[in-house]
Amino acid sequence: MLPLEPTDSGLFSPSDLPTVRQGEGYRVLARKYRPRRFSQVVGQNILVRLISQALKRDRLGHGFLFSGMRGIGKTTTARLLACYLNCLNLRQTEGEIEPCGVCDSCRAFEAEKHIDIIEMDAASHTGVDDIREILEACRYRPVLGRYKVFIIDEVHMLSKNAFNALLKTLEEPPEHVKFIFATTEIQKVLPTVVSRCLRFDLKRLDPAVLVPYLQDICTKETIKADPEALLLLAQAGGGSARDSLSLLDQAILLAEQQSQENPCIQAQDVGQMLGLLDRKAFHTLFEAILQGDAKASVETAQSLEGEGIDPLRVMEELSTFVHHLSCLKVGVKEGLLGMSVEEKNFLEHKAQQAELPTLGRLWQMLLKGREEVERAAFPQRAFEMVLVRLAYVTTLPTPDQLLKGAASPKKEIAVSPTIQIKLTPPLPSQASFSPLLQDFKGLIEAVIAKREGLLQTHLLQDIVLVTFEQGRLEISLKPGAPTDLPKRLQAFLKDYTGTSWKVILVPFSENLGPTLSEKKAEQERLIKEKVNAHPILEKARAFFPGVVLEEVKTLP
């Protein structure tokens, strides 16, 4: 559903609004005020200009693809385009091209009974057979209009085989056939389909566009509305005209319930209907966080819980508020458009108090805290813990404050008279800083600390230790070990300790004993044998024949 275009005679000209057929039952506002002309569409100016220019010059492609979020007019625009394509007497008025409204094609479109405009919902017709029906219908020429127009909504829901069945016809369709696709997930549409169409990305509607649109609808419905209430509805709609109108329907019912003779949509009533935070309570909460008052923050959160406010909604509001403050700090004020005067004043006041690094920390913690609240068994408790952390982090100094504190001149401190102490000469610097290796285990730890992975492997698997003394090491190499290993080990010891070491190579003999890896393997084997013989494992084998002990782990 798309809003109506403002005109020079006011926000919206009454003549531009679609008329309602007499004798019909109640229709929701989203259908009642659906545009019937491109001139009634706002918020999608580029789209309207391009299509209008193509219609004027008769330079129309055979495929169109409209993408965008829900409720911004993809299907409505597709239907309007189908109407314009099939009008037999298009006319230009004041530079705008419009259908005549009197030909057989226009009357059939108005009655929603046009035989040449075929709509298909791909969400419920996803298969190849559905596409085959379309391809079969392409063979027949139009009856009322100039083209046979196929509108496929949510086209991304088609199966891959259905897409492939459509490709050839989409690339070279008959001259009397036009395809119009609409999708909310353009990334799921095959690139081969996108490349064969004129693509239009419809943008979400700004509250600055939606608020006057809603106000004009209220005027037509003889309903009074506060601008702040309409702003809340537009924001809750999230840029979707259809969602905003659905919420307006509810707000009108609420206003009529309170006063049948003179209904008025109030901001307070809309806030309660939407489950929004009371702004005063929210301001109190944010003020407490900025002041580092954890007690007041938690108490306010508990009072909001008593009112039935969802913690995630509060966190969303906090995130939005921190974002607005950060934008203000860097000089961007577009976020203030459409806000109430009270809200603007509060934001500007807090922007003078809050530091940008602090706001950055709050933003990070709110993003992380939201995940915690979503996963928590008790969301309210998790939310209160997040508030405690937020209040604490605002009391921490910023990096600039730390630097200023470090650079500030230190106060002079009175000291007692100096006492002369005779010091012994210091030891040589090399010895004072040389790390000592007490044993072979210490050598391996040093190798690990220096990230000498290859040398570590050789020490564990290829070297048998004979003797270890300070400055002297006797080793024996296993067969197959690198012959330059003693030199590499000697170089490492000198580099690590700063002193020269003697590494003496002793001929290998089985009597010298095992390597460290072999010792470890033997210890694991003995432990495994001991566990295998344990009575508990014997009982387990009785219940589960064929049980094999794979691994034994020692608990820390």
Q: How many domains, in total, are found in the chain?
A: 4
Three-class SS of residue 513? coil
In this predicted structure, the answer to whether residue 261 has a pLDDT above a threshold of 90 is no
Supply the range of the domain harboring residue 235.
207-211+218-274
Side chain identity, residue 370: R
pLDDT computed for residue 42 by the predictor: 76
For the segment 197-233, what is each residue's pLDDT rounded down to a tens digit? 889 898 888 888 889 889 999 998 888 988 888 888 8
Higher-scoring residue by pLDDT: 405, 242: 242
Domain co-membership, 269 together with 291: no
In this predicted structure, the answer to whether residue 401 has a pLDDT above a threshold of 70 is no
For the segment 508-524, what is each residue's pLDDT rounded down to a tens digit? 887 788 888 888 888 88
Calculate the average pLDDT of the chain: 81
pLDDT computed for residue 427 by the predictor: 46
CATH number for position 255: 1.10.8.60
In this predicted structure, the answer to whether residue 437 has a pLDDT above a threshold of 80 is no
Domain co-membership, 229 together with 378: no
pTM of the model: 0.60
Instruction: For residue 343, give the H/E element and its range.
Output: helix 341-353
In this predicted structure, the answer to whether residue 149 has a pLDDT above a threshold of 50 is yes
Three-class SS of residue 471? coil
Which of 13-22, 461-470, 533-542 shows the lowest mean pLDDT across its residues?
13-22
Domain co-membership, 118 together with 263: no
In this predicted structure, the answer to whether residue 130 has a pLDDT above a threshold of 80 is yes
Residue 431 lies in a domain: no
Residue 331, both tokens: 């000089």
* Mean pLDDT (whole number) for 377-405: 81
Q: What percentage of the chain reaches a pLDDT higher than 90?
A: 16
* Mean pLDDT (whole number) for 113-137: 89
Cα gap 546→525, rounded to integer Å: 20
* Mean pLDDT (whole number) for 385-402: 80
- At residue 367 the predicted structure's pLDDT band, cuts being 50, 70 and 90, is very high
> Residue 215 — φ and ψ, nearest 5°?
-65, -40
pLDDT computed for residue 555 by the predictor: 57
Domain co-membership, 392 together with 472: no
- At residue 430 the predicted structure's pLDDT band, cuts being 50, 70 and 90, is very low
Residue 365 lies in a domain: yes
Cα gap 433→491, rounded to integer Å: 18
Domain co-membership, 309 together with 167: no
pLDDT computed for residue 351 by the predictor: 83
Residue 437 lies in a domain: no
CATH number for position 454: 3.30.300
Domain co-membership, 180 together with 222: no
Which of 79-83, 129-133, 257-261, 308-312 shows the lowest mean pLDDT across its residues?
257-261
75 closest CA partner among 130, 128, 149: 149
pLDDT computed for residue 519 by the predictor: 85
pLDDT computed for residue 10 by the predictor: 33
Picking from 230, 257, 274, the residue at the C-terminal end of a domain is: 274
326 Cβ partners below 8 Å, 6+ apart?
356, 359, 360, 363
Three-class SS of residue 447? helix
